[in-house]
């Protein structure tokens, strides 16, 4: 049942447990957002929503700040009052929450893990077993680091069987591209699109070797969820709607918006478009269903099961403690009109 009611000069549209806000002659509400990394394709829905004025239409004054990794973004949003919401690979959020950081998922975009290892196309390597004796670039403090041992074990290897080269995240792709490493472990869509012109490569996803889990999505702290729940619901729905718009044939429009919003970042539109196209393969059936952003219980079940199995979180976790259900729903997406 849909219900309209006024509160403080603002009209709210209630759909089940979901609240969508629309302006009614009031100032937009400020919302501070921490992103996971410097500008790349996964930020497309945010920049497109700013460029087209969708956040303002929804009564939000959104302020985006670039980041330097999912792990750091989770720590910052969960440990301070400065940011209202963040985007990160949600496995980082799950691990942090299991250790006591009061964070919770709001919306899931990539429903399958995009972490993996890239190898040259002519290397003949098709799985972790082929990495024996190879030099592998990775970043010790990044999202992929906790999963390295489990991935190698899937191929019967230990760390002592490979040469792990810890590289700063900003220089990891370049290290591999110029041949200073035989392989690189990172976010596949970001690195594959960036290096393939210089070093044609194949990706070996961790998800194909027993390490599947949700990836990019929105999260917040429990205190912000309690104090700013309606604004966070609105924001999550606008971003989710933006993703669904992008993958309905508007990829180039999204790329143009990223470049327009980050003019000093010296971004390559062709690489951004490649990243978007690769990312799409990790969004699952939600792309065709127009339901990107909806938290699905099955996706979170597999995530918790994977993290428990590799002992990154304690066993016996209550899955629903890690995400907020009903933030983005098929009904809320269909009712949200963006012009």
Co-location of 205 and 298 in the same domain: no
Per-residue model confidence (pLDDT) at position 10: 35
Domain's final residue, options 178, 209, 240: 209
pLDDT tens sequence across 4-52: 222 223 334 333 333 444 444 457 899 999 999 999 999 999 999 999 9
CA separation for the pair 332, 301 (Å, rounded): 23
Query: Partners of 2 in the beta sheet?
Result: 15
Least confident range from 6-15, 70-79, 163-172: namely: 6-15
- Edge-first strand order for the sheet with 135-138 is 163-166, 135-138, 183-187, 115-120, 201-205
DSSP code per residue over 188-235: HHHHHHHHTTTS-EEEEEGGGGT-----EEEEEEHHHHHHHHHHHHHH
Domain's final residue, options 209, 241, 271: 209
Co-location of 224 and 327 in the same domain: yes
- Across the range 197-222, mean pLDDT stands at 97
Co-location of 104 and 232 in the same domain: yes
Structure-block tokens of residue 167: 């590289």
Per-residue model confidence (pLDDT) at position 226: 97
Burial 233-261 (b: 16+ CB within 10 A, else e): bbbbbbbbbbbbbbbeebbeebbbbbbeb
Co-location of 94 and 218 in the same domain: yes
Domain's final residue, options 187, 209, 231: 209
Co-location of 62 and 182 in the same domain: no
Structure-block tokens of residue 213: 């889990």
Co-location of 203 and 262 in the same domain: no
CA separation for the pair 101, 222 (Å, rounded): 9
Co-location of 55 and 99 in the same domain: yes
Co-location of 222 and 203 in the same domain: no
Angle in degrees, 0-180, between the axes of helices 222-246 and 251-261, rounded to the nearest 10: 130
Kindly report the CA angle at 218 between 196 and 70, in degrees rounded to 5? 50
Co-location of 87 and 50 in the same domain: yes
User: Domains in the chain: how many in total?
Assistant: 2
Q: Is the pLDDT of residue 56 over 60?
A: yes
Co-location of 203 and 223 in the same domain: no
pLDDT tens sequence across 278-316: 999 999 999 999 999 999 999 999 999 999 999 999 999
Q: Which residues contact 151 (CB under 8 A, 6 or more apart)?
A: 117, 128, 185, 206, 209, 211
Co-location of 105 and 229 in the same domain: yes
**Which CATH number does the domain housing residue 243 bear?**
3.40.190.10
3-state percent breakdown (helix, strand, coil) of the chain, nearest 5? 45, 20, 35
Q: Which domain holds residue 149?
A: 115-209
Co-location of 273 and 196 in the same domain: no
């Amino acid at each position: 049942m849909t219900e309209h009611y006024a509160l403080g000069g603002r009209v709210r549209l209630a759909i089940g447990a979901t609240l969508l806000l629309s302006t009614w002659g009031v100032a937009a509400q400020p919302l501070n957002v921490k992103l996971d990394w410097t500008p790349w394709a996964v930020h497309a829905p945010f920049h497109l929503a700013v460029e087209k004025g969708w956040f303002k239409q929804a009564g939000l004054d959104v302020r985006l700040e670039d980041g330097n990794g999912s792990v750091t973004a989770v720590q910052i949003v969960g440990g301070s009052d400065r940011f209202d919401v963040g985007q990160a690979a949600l496995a980082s959020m799950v691990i942090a929450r299991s250790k006591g950081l009061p964070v919770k998922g709001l919306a899931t975009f990539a429903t399958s893990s995009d972490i993996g290892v890239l190898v040259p196309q002519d290397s003949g390597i098709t799985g972790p077993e082929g990495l024996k004796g190879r030099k592998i670039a990775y970043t010790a403090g990044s999202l992929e680091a906790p999963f390295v041992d489990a991935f190698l074990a899937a191929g019967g290897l230990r760390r002592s069987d490979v040469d792990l080269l810890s590289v700063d995240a900003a220089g990891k792709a370049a290290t591999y591209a110029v041949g200073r490493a035989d392989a690189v472990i990172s976010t596949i869509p970001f690195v594959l699109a960036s290096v393939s012109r210089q070093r044609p490569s194949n990706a070996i996803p961790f998800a194909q070797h027993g390490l599947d889990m949700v990836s990019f999505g929105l999260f917040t702290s429990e205190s912000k969820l309690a104090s700013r729940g309606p604004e966070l619901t609105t924001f999550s729905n606008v971003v989710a709607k933006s993703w669904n718009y992008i993958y309905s044939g508007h990829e180039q429009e999204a790329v143009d918006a990223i470049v327009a919003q980050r003019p000093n970042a010296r971004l390559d539109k062709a690489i951004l478009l490649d990243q978007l196209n690769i990312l799409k393969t990790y969004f699952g059936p939600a792309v065709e269903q127009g339901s990107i952003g909806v938290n699905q219980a099955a996706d979170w079940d597999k995530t918790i099961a994977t993290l428990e199995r590799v002992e990154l979180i304690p066993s016996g976790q209550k899955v629903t403690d890690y995400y907020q259900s009903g933030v983005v729903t098929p009904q809320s997406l269909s009712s949200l009109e963006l012009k």
